[in-house]
Structure 1
């Protein structure tokens, strides 16, 4: 590696991340364009993707995303890191085969092992596919039918195992805009039937790496692996090296990027943004210090498994927020100045107007 490789400061990486994640300003893109650019949006929490798009797009309305889900342009499914995401239907066609190995590896976890021990997984997949053919089923219904074929096993585990073995999606009304925090039963449909076309017949890790860098770069191999859940991507990145440019971060780690992708200006002001739990911008790298300090990361780690909505101040995570009814509570990690408080409260008021446009007396508390 040449000694002339440019070193990127943490603020340059931060401002670049804001630009790539559409958080430096609200942009005039369509929701479909935004989801395509982001590759996939974390969607574990029912209303999370709606808030994530609201934070990024001009004039976004909940119906804009709901119509994409109902029209099958966007799908909700288990994919990256074995977690639930939204992706453009066309992208799911190559994304699922690319991450299927790590998704299916979940079957080796203790959570599943006892319930599927001794079952021929190919047969389980065939039976599950036959039951789902032509009609979506809720997990509980699929599990009940599978338990008839594989008695003595927990129905829910059987249904979840089929979901890991066969490319499937969660059709509406799952993950459509509704009562805040509401969860309902999860429906399943075969992905190729739902989309109306077969999925790619082979993984496309090169496509995944290039698309990731467009939305998250510059980034290292370990960052790509942390985001995708896949391992052993060094060889893939090395194969792409002639098409990429490289940098170093302040610790000397090598970062890769697309050759023509712009870098952010370190002194550019950054707006306050309220992000949903598990937002891409916070979970997109192994080294997350470009958006959250280690000290602040440790503050939320005990609660992270349940999902913690966060807010950005000057581009970095500086606190959490929570919505209960018509009350939005802001909890900063440090004392805020008067101007910072005003900026956070203004963005919070905008979020309340988005979530409950007919509420004339929303309440914002800050501690």
Structure 2
């Protein structure tokens, strides 16, 4: 019989593999590759994610890698933005094409009027090969040829068909504004491909996120029907059982630390791999947190206490000053309160990047 793992055991396994029990001395590209990319819907998300995981991480270190094209930001898993190493972008992006095609079919196909996807695609490539464009400008230029279509939907043809890299200076630390988009061939010098084999993707997912179920990986990636890929690896994978009886898979030497291993407070950005990488998120998002996070539209910046999400936090900037407001989901002990406040100040100092003053305030526990 497979060993049963509690949510707390899964919590510590996940935090250990994601370097959130202790910051690691790992090169930034190696960390991004191991994590199979970083959530990158917001400009600062990857920076905060790496600061939580890597010792002595500095903003400029990641910005340099973005400028020199070692890491690339584009739409991959779940049709959401991720930051990948250049090699992973070229091999993972084609694996996700069915996910993007499904998004196009379900969300945008009926919004392009008389336009044919192939024709829009061809015209969009012509425009992007002239110069980088924002998505808004791309849609407007395409609408000149198809005035009965929504410009947003026309631009999505290119988002779903091409690998559009968000190029600097947009979308790096300290720079806002709509991102400039360029085809990967134009920005990084080579197209995508060949696609990573699904069994290899399974192995790498489990190394960073396991033990995990097939549904967990499908939720993380947006792919469907992954059972055959897991079946192909049955002879080499280890099987466990979750608290609810679901089958969990893992690589043979995956980290499984003691469930009582101390877990430091961490302030996560709005989107973070450590909890978005699963269908069943109870390993880090207990019922209390799940209920509270739904009340504020699901995706919020959250913090952990003892490894589990215990509240959310908000950020306000005034010139160079940083103000963090903490909203707990439960009553905290004096020691927990002190730990949370200390990490809030540390996280705020990172966000301030040596400028201005960091203040921390508390709101009442969510009822």
Category of TM-score, reference length = shorter chain: over 0.9
How far off is 1:134 after superposition? 5.3
Structure 1: which 5+ runs fail to align? Answer: none
Residue in structure 2 matched with residue 142 of structure 1 by the alignment: 138
Instruction: Go from structure 1 to structure 2 and tell me whether the alpha carbon gap of 1:15 and 1:211 turns closer, same or farther (over 3 Å shift).
Output: same
Match of 1:95 in 2: 92
**Residue 114 of structure 1, CA deviation:** 3.4
Deviations 1:237-271 (A, max 9, x none): 11111121111112221111111222121111111
Q: Residue 201 of structure 1: CA displacement?
A: 4.0
Q: Within 5 Å, which residues of 2 pair with 1:1-40?
A: 3=1, 5-40=2-37
Instruction: Count matched residues.
Output: 359
The DSSP-based 3-state class of the residue aligned with 1:334 is coil
The alpha-carbon distance between structure 1 residues 295 and 256, as it changes in their structure 2 partners (threshold 3 A), is same
Task: Tell me if the contact between 2:79 and 2:99 (Cα under 8 Å) persists in the aligned partners.
Answer: yes
1:58 maps to 55
Match of 1:234 in 2: 227
Find the counterpart in structure 2 of residue 204 from structure 1: 197
Worse overlay, 117-126 or 15-24: 117-126
In structure 1, how many angstroms separate the alpha carbons of the residues matched to 2:163 and 2:96?
11
* Runs of 4+ with >4 A deviation: none
Task: Report the Cα distance in structure 1 between the residues aligned to 2:10 and 2:36, rounded to whole angstroms.
Answer: 19
- Counterpart CA distance in 2 for 1:185 and 1:314 is 37
Is 1:154 the counterpart of 2:147 in the alignment?
Answer: no
TM-score with structure 1 setting the length: 0.93
Q: For the residues of structure 1 that align with 2:300 and 2:340, how far apart are their CA atoms?
A: 17
Structure 1, 207-216 or 355-364: larger mean CA deviation: 355-364
TM-score (norm 2): 0.93
SS of the aligned residue for 1:322 comes to strand
Structure 1 residue aligned with 2:44: 47
CA displacement at 1:127 relative to structure 2: 1.6
Note the C-alpha offset of 1:184: 1.4
Aligned equivalents of 1:128, 1:165: Cα separation in 2:
10
Change (3 A) 1:189 1:94: same
State whether residues 97 and 204 of structure 1, in contact with CA within 8 Å, keep that contact through their aligned partners in structure 2: no
Distance (Å, rounded) in 2 between the aligned partners of 1:225 and 1:218: 14
1:67 aligns with 2:64: yes
For 1:155 and 1:279, how far apart are their aligned partners in 2?
Answer: 30
Q: Does 1:119 align with 2:115?
A: yes
1:281-296 map, 5 Å: 281-296=274-289
- Aligned partner of 1:279 in structure 2 is 272
Does 2:306 match 1:310?
A: no
Partner of 1:253: 246
How far is 1:273 from its partner? Answer: 0.5
What CA distance in whole angstroms lies between the structure 2 residues aligned with 1:205 and 1:122?
Answer: 28
Q: 1:193 to 1:360 in 2, by over 3 A?
A: closer
CA RMSD of superposed structures (Å): 1.6
Aligned to 1:216: 209
Aligned to 1:354: 350
Give the unaligned 5+ runs of structure 2.
none
Aligned-pair CA distance for 1:14: 0.7
SS at match of 1:256: strand
Deviation at 1:167, TM superposition (A): 1.9
Give the distance between the partners of 1:105 and 1:189, measured in 2 at CA.
23
1:92-136 deviation line (CA, Å, top 9, x unaligned): 1111110111112212234x2333243221222122112212532
In 1: Cα distance, 2:205 partner to 2:113 partner: 36
- 316, 341, 348: which one aligns with 1:324: 316
Task: Give the Cα–Cα distance (whole angstroms) in 2 for the partners of residues 32 and 217 of structure 1.
Answer: 21
- Look up the SS of the partner of 1:123 in the other structure: helix
In 1, distance between residues paired with 2:194 and 2:340?
47
Equivalent of 1:132, from 128, 131, 138? 128
1:241 to 1:193, Cα distance in 2 relative to 1, 3 A: farther
